[in-house]
Amino acid sequence: MSKILLFLLFIFLSFLIFYSPNLYRLYKLANLYNEDKISRNFINMEDFFNTSNPIPASKSPYVFEKSLMDLPETYTFEGQELNLNEGLKYFNTDGLIILHDDKVLYEQYWNGNDQHSKHISWSVAKSFLSALIGIEFDIVSNWALRKNIPHTTYRNLSENEEVQNLIWEEIKKSNEYTSSLPIRKFRMLTKELDHEDGDLTATQKAKRNVIMEKFSDLIEDMYK
């Protein structure tokens, strides 16, 4: 009997060791919207979900001009005039930024947040895509020859202004098929991705980390 109990205990402990991180994450997720913890939870989302390495912040970010103003005391909601401060508190507001014409009109944070907090935004944010684009050299080269565009290498072909205009026109056509995430900025890869150079896996899939390192200057330029 003691051997059976020891075996069951071993199985139970093994289960806890193997699954405890997931069980803990599940517990945290179940309490994501807990009123007493929601503010902390929303700036520590890595405790709940597996995350990838984010794109590094720009070394020269755009700085919005400030033209600060006071908020009104009341706002109208469903035909009722309500107190704004009470509303911000009721909705557990962690931060409020008002931008207009590229100027910051208001910026304030609450509940332990500040301008450096990595706060989840979800539907608050409006996204657009940037893209690194590599040309199919033979196809674009044939097009360039018909247009009498001189070129000798992949790089000087991809950096050619007429080629980039061609790519932009194709991007705009593609954007017409989506209403949510249009590509607004792009940069051209300066070399063809190659498995032997470590850019691609054996199945010809791009290695994200390698590409981000090799073309970091292009990525940085898109986010200036």
Q: Are 186 and 168 in contact (CB under 8 A)?
A: yes
pLDDT averaged over every residue in the chain: 83
Q: What's the mean pLDDT in 110-126?
A: 78
In angstroms, the CA 114 to CA 92 distance is: 15
Tell me, what's the pLDDT at 47? 72
CB 112: neighbour CB atoms within 10 A?
Answer: 10
Q: What's the mean pLDDT in 50-62?
A: 74
State the burial class of residue 158 (Cβ atoms within 10 Å of its Cβ: 0-12, 13-18, 19+): buried
The region of weakest confidence among 52-61, 165-174, 198-207 is: 52-61
CB 163: neighbour CB atoms within 10 A?
Answer: 21
Residue with the bigger pLDDT between 187 and 38: it is 187
Tens-place pLDDT, residues 157-175: 999 999 999 999 999 998 8
Tens-place pLDDT, residues 59-111: 788 889 999 999 999 988 888 899 999 999 888 888 899 988 889 999 999 98
Q: For the stretch 130-139, what's the b/e string if a residue is b when 16 or more beta carbons lie within 10 angstroms of its beta carbon?
A: eebebbeeee
**What is the maximal distance between C-alpha atoms in the chain?**
88
Tell me, what's the pLDDT at 118? 79
Q: Which of 1-5, 60-64, 106-110, 204-208 has the highest mean pLDDT?
A: 106-110
Tell me, what's the pLDDT at 30? 72
Tell me, what's the pLDDT at 34? 78
